[in-house]
Amino acid sequence: MLSFCTLSAYGSSLGKRGGCRVLSVTQFCLKRLETGGGMLQIILGAVMLGLLWAIMTIGVYITYRILDIADLTVEGSIAMGAAIAAQAIYSGINPYAATFLALVGGMAAGLITGLLHTRLKVPALLSGILTMIALYSINLRILGKANLSLLRMETVYTVFKDMGVDKNTVFVNLGISQVVPVITLGLLCVLGIIGILYWFFGTEVGCSVRSTGDNPQMSRAQGINTNNMIILGLIISNGLVAVSGALIAQQQSFADVQMGIGSIVIGLASVIIGEVLFGKRNFFSRLVSLVLGAITYRVIIALVLEIGMPANDLKLFTAITVAIALALPVFRSYLSPITKSMKVGM
Amino acid sequence: MLSVGGVYKTFNIGTVNEKTALRNISLNLEEGDFVTLIGGNGSGKSTLLNCIAGVHAVDQGAIIIDGIDVTKFSEHKRAGILGRVFQDPMVGTAANMEIEENLALAYRRGRNRSLRWGISQKERELYKELLRPLDLGLENRLGARVGLLSGGQRQALTLLMATLRKPKLLLLDEHTAALDPKTAAKVLELSDKFIEEGKLTTLMVTHNMRDAIKHGNRLIMMYDGRILLDIKGETKQQLTVEALLQRFGQASGEEFSNDRALLS
């Protein structure tokens, strides 16, 4: 039964085929969860994490879809953002300033990858891997040890707690007062970033970044310095990823040098889930779909964990999900001749 | 307008694949010249065009456009004074961007790109006016993705983009070779119109002898990295395919052996 439920989670993440069966199984799962207690808590916890990871997903989208580069720097820059923010807060710096420092750090990481790729002509994938590996050591130096606790420290969420958003009796009674401050700030950040990026990619420079990813040869013929545009895109992307890392570290009250492992796959999974489920009509809806994709991913993970999948299998589960989603066009091309011949046969 | 002096270009120097594509090429184009450049496969005509555009750096020699020595300029820096159309219709436009976005990118060629909005309402009106004479119905589809257009439509759009800001030099690299004969003729006709209206200095590479003879005021034939024939003025106007083949034979001591050029 367990594996059946897991499969249903796959099904709902991948598309609308066989909707009926998936629905009934989901209902079964939901019932089980409710009796297990705190369905709302689970979902809201997933939404909270999803919002924080959505910032990282937007960063991955900028490199993976707009620049057409699979940038592995993010594995290092998400941990770097967490490390910088944690160390800064630990040293008594204002948490907002600490998060800003994380942004700068991530941008620097993107700059290094960009310089490796464009100036030194290292292939994009390898440039990202090199920066990622280098960042592992750098992050250890920033943290001074493998992980750093932020328990009882002031974080960016403390302000919202002080404002009393979590003291509302409705939230307390529902048992969700812990997640409300994070969701509030996460939502504000995500909306702000969507607004800024929507504006930026509509400007002359933003259009040049997009055309560079779409057709570099044409872009150069139109006088665009494609190397600089690639660097700019990587800077923005990794800056966002680092901010995401900083916010995640403050939410979970610790930074860990290992926390970046597999994050690129999570980012890709969220991008793809968002595109498949929530469409890509225009740029604005694409940005929104990234956030919804990141949240959906977290909800799926929370559900499969709740059903009883061992947490150690999470990365395997994510990898398989992404592999299937990326292979969807191939499966479709195999399937479509069969359906066509069936129709002719009828 | 264009002055190429003593240009050499060799690919894969020091390997078994070493290939000298250009041997001491010197060439001068006057303002308003429309030069057709013809030659067989591997004669160096596309390499010459790419060296002028800055895709390849030259080994030796100088390239001067409108009095500016651009030999050391990168490709994107030269683009400000050049207009380019490529052989592959997919190369000249960004498929995932809208028609108006592509035009807006071209409209800013050679100008500073800032954080101003990427396209203005006034421009949209201008683009509509410019697209209408193409007679492809594109003026009503400004917001359509370029990837939805046919090869011929994309090539016509690229041509418009190349001439949107009057270039000092227009480079056409076999820009009709990938199109079907009817579309190719239409795009060539359009090219003629743009070049005439804008009085553009043009260098057009072609495989097709008839096109090379019919269009332009000067014909250059390349062979083995050298300029073999340079025919202009009255002689060019009275030129026929037979006469061109004969002159090629005399100059090179060989039969012209390019089926594609002969057949078309």
CATH number of the domain enclosing B215: 3.40.50.300
| Most B CBs within 10 Å, among A64, A204, A283, to test the B interface | A204
Q: How many domains does chain B have?
A: 1
Residue type, A51: L
Q: Is A303 exposed, middle or buried, given 0-12, 13-18 or 19+ CB atoms closer than 10 A?
A: buried
Q: What are the start-end ranges of the E strands in chain A? A: 147-149, 254-256
| Predicted pLDDT of residue B184 | 92
Determine the Cα–Cα distance for residues A294 and A46; give it in Å rounded to an integer: 9
Query: Would residue A164 be called left, alpha or beta, if left means φ above 0 and alpha means ψ between -120 and 50 degrees?
Result: left
Asked whether the predicted pLDDT for residue B264 surpasses 70, the reply is no
| Confidence band for B255, pLDDT divided at 50, 70 and 90 | low
User: For residue B208, what pLDDT is reported?
Assistant: 86
Q: How many domains does chain A have?
A: 1
The answer to whether the CB atoms of A215 and B118 lie below 8 A apart is no
Q: Which residues of A touch B53 (CB under 8 A)?
A: 221
Tell me the mean pLDDT in the region B1-11. 92
Sequential pLDDT tens for chain A (346 residues): 333 334 344 334 444 444 444 445 555 544 544 444 478 888 999 999 999 999 999 999 999 999 999 999 999 999 999 999 999 999 999 999 999 999 999 999 999 999 999 999 999 999 999 999 999 999 999 999 999 999 988 999 988 877 776 677 777 766 677 788 899 999 999 999 999 999 999 999 999 999 999 999 999 999 999 999 999 999 999 999 999 999 999 999 999 999 999 999 999 999 999 988 887 778 999 999 999 999 999 999 999 998 999 989 988 988 998 888 888 878 878 876 655 545 444 3
Q: How far A306 CA lies from chain B's nearest CA (Å)?
A: 41
Indicate whether B108 belongs to any domain.
no
Structure tokens at B229: 């024939």
A41-73 per-residue burial string, b: 16 or more CB within 10 A, e: under 16:
ebbbbbbbbbbbbbbbbbbbbbbbbbbbbebbb
As a dihedral over the C-alpha atoms of residue B63, residue B66, residue B67, residue B72, rounded to 10 degrees, the angle is -40
**What are the C-alpha distances in Å from A284 to residues A43, A58, A199, A200?**
25, 12, 10, 12
Rounded Cα gap, residues B259 and B239, in angstroms? 20
Q: Is residue A14 one of the residues assigned to a domain?
A: no
Confidence at residue A175, expressed as pLDDT on a 0 to 100 scale: 67
Is residue B85 within 8 Å of B158, Cβ to Cβ?
yes
Residue A315 belongs to a domain: no
* Rounded Cα–Cα distance for residues A156 and B8 (Å): 62
Cα(A10)–Cα(B65) distance, integer angstroms: 60
Contact B212, B219 (CB under 8 A): yes
The overall average pLDDT reported for chain B is 90
- How many CB atoms lie under 10 A from the CB of residue A100? 17
Rounded Cα distance between B169 and B153, Å, is: 23
Which candidate from A205, A221, A222 shows the least CB-CB separation from B115? Answer: A205
Range of the structural domain that residue B60 is part of: 2-94+150-263
Contacts of B109 in chain A (CB under 8 A): 222-223
- Chain centre distance of CA B34: 11
Q: Report how far apart, in Å, the C-alpha atoms of A58 and of each of A252, A259, A300, A311, B67 are.
A: 21, 18, 19, 25, 46
Q: Do B116 and A215 touch (CB under 8 A)?
A: no
Please report, rounded to a whole number, the percentage of residues in chain B having pLDDT higher than 70: 96
Tell me the pLDDT band of B169, cut-offs 50, 70 and 90.
very high
Q: Give the best residue of B81, B105, B107, B163 to mutate against chain A (max A CB count within 10 A).
A: B105
Sign of the Cα pseudo-torsion (A323, A329, A330, A334, in order): positive
Supply A28's token pair.
């079964």
Domain-located, residue B130: no
* Beta-carbon count within 10 A of A167 CB: 12
When CB atoms are compared, the residue of B91, B95, B104 closest to A217 is B91
Residue A185: inside a domain: yes
Report which of A109, A110, A111, A83 is spatially closest to residue A98, judged by C-alpha positions.
A83
| Residues of chain B found within 8 Å of residue A204, distances taken between Cβ atoms | 108, 113-118
Asked if B105 lies within 8 A of A220 by C-beta distance, the reply is no
The answer to whether the Cβ–Cβ distance between A224 and B115 falls below 8 Å is no
Q: Do B94 and A210 touch (CB under 8 A)?
A: yes
Report the gap between the CA of A240 and the closest CA in chain B (Å).
Answer: 20
Q: Which residues of B lie inside 8 Å of A (Cβ-Cβ)?
A: 53, 74-77, 79-80, 82, 84, 86, 91-97, 101-102, 104-106, 108-111, 113-119, 161
- Residue A324: Cβ within 10 Å count: 14
Residue B167 has pLDDT above 60, yes or no: yes
3-state secondary structure of B16: coil
pLDDT (0 to 100) of residue B257? 56
Residue B68 maps to a domain: yes
Cβ atoms of B200 and B232 closer than 8 Å? no
For residues B120 and B142, the answer to whether their CB atoms sit within 8 Å is: no
Per-residue pLDDT at B68: 92
The per-residue pLDDT for range B20-41, each reduced to its tens digit, is 999 999 999 999 999 999 988 8
CB B22, CB B48: distance < 8 Å: yes
Helix (H, G, I), strand (E, B) or coil at A153: coil
Interchain pair A205, B114: CB under 8 A: yes
Q: What order of strands is seen across the sheet that includes strand B218-223? A: B82-85, B169-173, B202-206, B34-38, B218-223, B226-232
Strand locations in A97-215 (E):
147-149
**Do B143 and B119 form a contact (C-beta atoms < 8 A)?**
no
Give dist(CA B132, CA A75) in Å, integer.
50
Give the pLDDT of residue A11: 39
A204/B115 CB distance under 8 A: yes
Neighbouring CB atoms inside 10 A of B65's CB total 22
At a CB cut-off of 8 Å and minimum separation 6, what does A226 contact? A212, A216, A219, A220, B76
The parent domain of residue A77 ranges over 39-308
Q: What pLDDT, in 10s, does the model give residues A288-332? A: 999 999 999 999 999 999 899 998 998 898 899 888 888 887 887
Chain A / chain B CB contacts < 8 angstroms: 84
In chain A, residues with a C-beta closer than 8 Å to the C-beta of B75 are 220-221
> How far is B263 from B209, CA to CA, in rounded Å?
9
Residue B42 has pLDDT above 90, yes or no: no
pLDDT band at B209 (very low <50, low <70, confident <90, very high): confident
Q: For the domain that residue A55 is a member of, what is the CATH number?
A: 1.10.3470
Neighbours of A162 (CB within 10 A): 12
CA distance B166 to B200: 8
Is residue A203 within 8 angstroms of chain B, CB to CB? yes
- CB-CB: which of B93, B94, B114 is closest to A204? B114
Residue whose structure tokens are 């299998």:
A313
Q: Are A71 and A131 in contact (CB under 8 A)?
A: no
Residues of B within 8 A of A225 (CB-CB) are 74, 76
Q: Does residue B76 have a pLDDT over 50?
A: yes
Q: What is the mean pLDDT of residues B241-256?
A: 78
Q: What is the C-alpha to C-alpha distance for residues B8 and B17, in angstroms, rounded to an integer?
A: 17
How many angstroms separate the CA atoms of B205 and B36, rounded? Answer: 6
